[in-house]
Amino acid sequence: MTALRTLEAAAWAGEVAAAFVERLQSTPSLRVCLPTGATPIPVYDALAARIGRGDASFAQATVILLDEWLGLPPGDPARCDTRLRAQLLDRLPVPPAAVHTIEVDAPDLEATVARHAACSLDLDLVVLGLGINGHVGFNEPGSLPDSPTRVVRLAASSRRAAMARYGSATVPTAGITLGMDRILAARKVWLLVTGERKAGILRRALRDPEGPDCPASYLRRHRGLTVFTDSEAAALLG
């Protein structure tokens, strides 16, 4: 059953960060898959502040990156590993016990995909944003519940939205993503959704029949799904 937590915009990030701190307190060795993108930035700000005050620690936790672009050089400002480190990991007083990024610069992409799938077994928590076309991670429309960790061709809307925000000189056309199969196998899944522009796709994901046109709709199969949304994004849920 989906748990829906609708919060006022001013309180949203702090409440999500507080829930994350509770997870770390109860499970210090948390194995968590984290996203990048615009939506989690205020959560990471609030979480870094809470961790800095000593409310919890990542010292025993394992962090797994959700996805990564192909074709961007190391250190590129649009790369997911660059952004996750800048937005959260490098701000922690004690780093996580392990951080698994995606080795897109390695010569053997098939081996990279296999390593990412292997390190993403037995996840306690997967945190996701919601794409405007219903994607989660790089599981674009057309993905199925059993879609594996893989190289994917990215929708034009996803490429434009990300590159406009992060200033890369190169617009990649593909990436590697954690598969829907791994996401649905995690113990808990959190979907973070904010803003009026996401109201339509959130309604599609939670209220309309599930289908491959909106991969996020498959998250409703997960008994441990919690949707953290603000009142603007939840406006069409009724």
Closest CA to 198 of 144, 161, 143, 146: 161
Catalytic choice (67, 76, 81, 230) = 67
Catalytic choice (76, 81, 116, 135) = 135
140 labelled catalytic? yes
The angle subtended at Cα 155 by Cα 152 and Cα 161, nearest 5°, is 120
- Phi then psi for residue 86, to 5 deg, are -70, -40
133 labelled catalytic? yes
Catalytic choice (68, 133, 139, 222) = 133
Over the Cα atoms of the chain, what is R_g? 17
Catalytic choice (68, 81, 140, 230) = 140
Distance CA 100, CA 65 (A): 6
Active site residue ranges: 67, 133, 135, 140
